[in-house]
C-alpha cells in the first residue's frame, strides 16, 4: 500500500470483517492508503496528502522539495504539533483574559452603596 503523509482531515471507508468502517488518519502522520483510496484522494483533493521522501536530509531549491529521514520527519511533526498546541493554549488564555475584563467592567457599574447603577434615570 502506498504510504503518504496526511496534511488535511480525511474520512475513509474501509471494509473490515465484511462491515464498512470509517477511518480518520491522523493529520501529520504517515498512513498506508490503498491505491484506490489514493487515486480518489488525488482526484478530489490532491493537497490532502503528500509523498514522503526518505533518505539523506537536504533541500533542493529548484523543486522546493525537502528530503528527510524518518527520524527527522517525526521530529518535525512533533515540533509542529507542539507549536500548534502552544498557539491554541495561548489563544484560549487570551480569550479567558478578555472574558475576565468583561466581568470587571460589569462590576464597575455599582454605585457607592454597592447596588447596581440604575441606567433608566
Q: Region 73-96: what's the mean pLDDT?
A: 85
More confident residue, 24 or 71: 24
Does the structure show a pLDDT above 50 at 57?
Answer: no
Does the structure show a pLDDT above 70 at 109?
Answer: no
- In the prediction, which pLDDT does 36 show? 92
- Helix ranges (H only) for 10-69 are 35-44
DSSP assignment, residue 48?
A: G
Sign, Cα dihedral of 12, 15, 16, 19: positive
Query: Partners of 55 in the beta sheet?
Result: none
CB contact set of 86 (below 8 Å; sequence gap of 6+):
none
Where are the strands (E) in the chain, listed by range?
3-6, 12-16, 19-23, 30-32, 49-51, 58-60, 65-67
- In the prediction, which pLDDT does 60 show? 41
Amino acid at each position: 500500500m502506498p504510504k503518504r503523509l496526511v496534511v488535511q482531515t480525511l474520512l475513509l471507508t474501509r471494509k473490515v470483517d465484511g462491515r464498512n468502517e470509517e477511518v480518520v488518519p491522523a493529520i501529520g502522520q504517515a498512513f498506508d492508503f490503498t491505491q484506490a483510496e489514493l487515486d480518489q484522494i488525488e482526484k478530489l483533493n490532491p493537497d490532502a496528502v503528500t509523498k514522503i521522501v526518505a533518505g539523506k536530509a537536504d533541500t533542493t531549491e529548484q523543486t522546493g522539495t525537502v528530503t528527510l529521514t524518518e527520524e527527522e520527519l517525526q521530529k518535525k511533526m512533533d515540533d509542529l504539533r507542539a507549536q500548534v498546541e502552544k498557539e491554541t493554549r495561548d489563544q484560549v488564555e487570551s480569550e479567558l483574559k478578555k472574558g475576565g475584563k468583561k466581568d470587571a467592567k460589569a462590576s464597575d457599574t455599582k454605585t457607592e452603596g454597592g447596588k447596581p447603577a440604575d441606567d433608566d434615570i
